[in-house]
Amino acid sequence: MIFLFVFFLGAILGSFLNVCIYRLPKRESILSPSSYCHHCGKPIKFYDNIPILSYLILRGKCRHCKVHISFRYLVVEGLSGLISSALFIRYGLTAQSLLFLLFAAALIIITFIDLDYQIIPDIISIPGIFLGIGASFFIPLISLLESLLGILIGGSFLLLVAIGYKWLTGREGMGGGDIKLLAMIGAWLGWKAIPFILFSSSLIGVLIGGGSMLINKKGLRHKIPFGPFLSIASIIYIFFGPELIKWYITL
């Protein structure tokens, strides 16, 4: 019962994340107006806005105009619920668990905005850096110094990559949003996490991005957002990072 309760609270958070994902790139308020159908403009009643359940009951359609609602809304709510439950199992009901849930929520927003628009909003990443510094006082995993070094090493590394790529090719490669995102990740997870996240995100990017280019028959010049891969690697590190690093060292 506790697991289901935590999952549902996480799904409620996911419902709010959907609002952020839709409205932030459009520079709309995330507080008002209340949820509405993007097709007919009708307000969504509270009983049609219950995370996951309402989507399933209405079969993914607006009650008024019957237009299909993106399956992504269900995915985000479910993902947020699963991460919330997993954090509760891993860390219990602690400040560390709640802070990591806030961090994961930011990564979910960034991931889906980057997939749609290939941008990472500063309104998430820059405040996220300062929140990560503050979180270092409550998360046993890292210290304040490790958080500050994470910002410096994470941001500087991708900045050098971006400069080097442009110098070699004459084209923009790594965006400024990715640089600020890795700085934010470094603030939350510390400098020791940076090598793991860079390696893991690159591997995930090759597997997913490369596969996508082959399936869609797009060339190497096709731009693939890197933010989602950094976010996935960060979530993996939260749950398994130190253990995976120890396992790799013992090989």
Helix, strand and coil percent figures for the chain, each rounded to 5:
70, 0, 30
Average pLDDT of span 179-186 = 96
CA distances from 15 to 8, 20, 45, 84, 153 (A): 11, 9, 14, 13, 34
Task: Judge whether 190 and 149 are in contact, CB under 8 Å.
Answer: yes
Residue 178 has pLDDT above 70, yes or no: yes
CB 52 within 8 A of CB 77: yes
Does residue 148 register a pLDDT over 90? yes
Residue 179: per-residue pLDDT = 93
On the question of a cis peptide bond just before residue 33, with omega within 30 degrees of 0, the verdict is yes
What average pLDDT does this structure show over 40-52? Answer: 88
The most confident of 169-183, 196-210, 214-228, by mean pLDDT: 196-210
pLDDT at 221: 56
Per-domain boundaries in the chain: 1-93, 121-251
Average pLDDT in the chain: 89
Work out the average pLDDT over 69-88: 95
